Structure formats: C-alpha cells, structure tokens
C-alpha cells in the first residue's frame, strides 16, 4: 500500500468510527515480531502500551519491524511502516509526518498519551 492509497482510504471513510475500524484493519496486516525481538532494547519508551521497533539497514534503505500489545497501536504502526519502509535516511528526514497525520486526521482523535507514543516511534525512526 502506498501513502497515496492510505490517504485515499481515510478520505473515503470520513467518520472517526470508520477510520478507527480502518486503523484496526491495518493493524491486522502488521507482521508480528518474534519473542526474541521483543526485548527491552527494542521497546519504545513513551508509549502507554507495550511497543517495539526493530530498525534494520539494508544498503542505503531502512526497514522497520514493529509490534504492540494493542490493536490500535499496531494499526498506527502499520501507517508508519507504509510511510517510512524502504526509504533512505535522507528520504526519511524529508518526510513531513505532521502533514501526513493532519491529512489523515489522526492527531485530532488520538488520546494525548497515544499521540505521544506515536510521536516517540516517529522520533526513533527519524533518528536513523
């Protein structure tokens, strides 16, 4: 799925209830981490839920594996995967994630703690 397709899907599903269901559906597509990968070193601090992020560099591009103990966070992680997966450090730095979140309407509906957790994951990704 591309960022454009993601934005289109959210625009088609205008109500928060439909967008929430879309986030849950996206979370079901996120591949689970192995128990070996769910270590403290991969845990994202600042998330209310348990959340893990594994960053792998392959050539010039970065690949991200993420997991959480909640369905909503998994869906939000899938959105981040769609946005950042396979990009170089320069491409990652150039992404205006706040603009994408605004277009999706995410930050208006997330609790402050969930929004902070999402931004903590973005901060780790942008730190590559």
Q: Give the C-alpha distances (Å, rounded to integers) separating 3 from 14, 79, 81, 97, 104.
A: 17, 8, 10, 11, 10
Q: Which two tokens stand for residue 60?
A: 């010039």
**pTM of model > 0.75:** yes
- Taking CB atoms within 8 Å and a gap of at least 24, the contacts of 26-30 are 26/74, 26/75, 26/78, 26/79, 27/71, 27/72, 27/73, 27/74, 27/75, 27/76, 27/77, 27/78, 28/71, 28/74, 29/78, 30/66, 30/67, 30/74, 30/75, 30/77, 30/78, 30/81
Q: Considering the domain 3-126 in this protein, what is its CATH number?
A: 3.90.1010.10
Checking if the pLDDT of 64 tops 90, the result is: yes
pLDDT in tens, 7-38: 999 999 888 899 999 999 999 999 999 999 99
Q: How does the average pLDDT of the chain come out, rounded?
A: 93
Residues with a known catalytic role: 47
């Amino acid at each position: 799925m591309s960022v454009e397709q993601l934005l289109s899907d959210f625009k088609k599903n205008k109500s928060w209830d439909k967008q929430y269901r879309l986030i849950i559906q996206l979370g079901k597509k996120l591949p689970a981490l192995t128990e070996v990968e769910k270590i403290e070193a991969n845990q994202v601090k600042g998330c209310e839920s348990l959340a893990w992020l594994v960053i792998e560099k392959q050539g010039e591009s970065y690949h991200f594996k993420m997991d959480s103990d909640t369905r909503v966070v998994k869906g939000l992680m899938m959105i981040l995967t769609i946005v950042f997966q396979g990009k170089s450090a320069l491409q990652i730095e150039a992404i205006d994630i706040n603009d994408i979140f605004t277009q999706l309407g995410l930050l208006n509906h997330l609790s402050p703690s969930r929004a902070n957790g999402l931004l903590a994951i973005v901060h780790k990704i942008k730190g590559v």
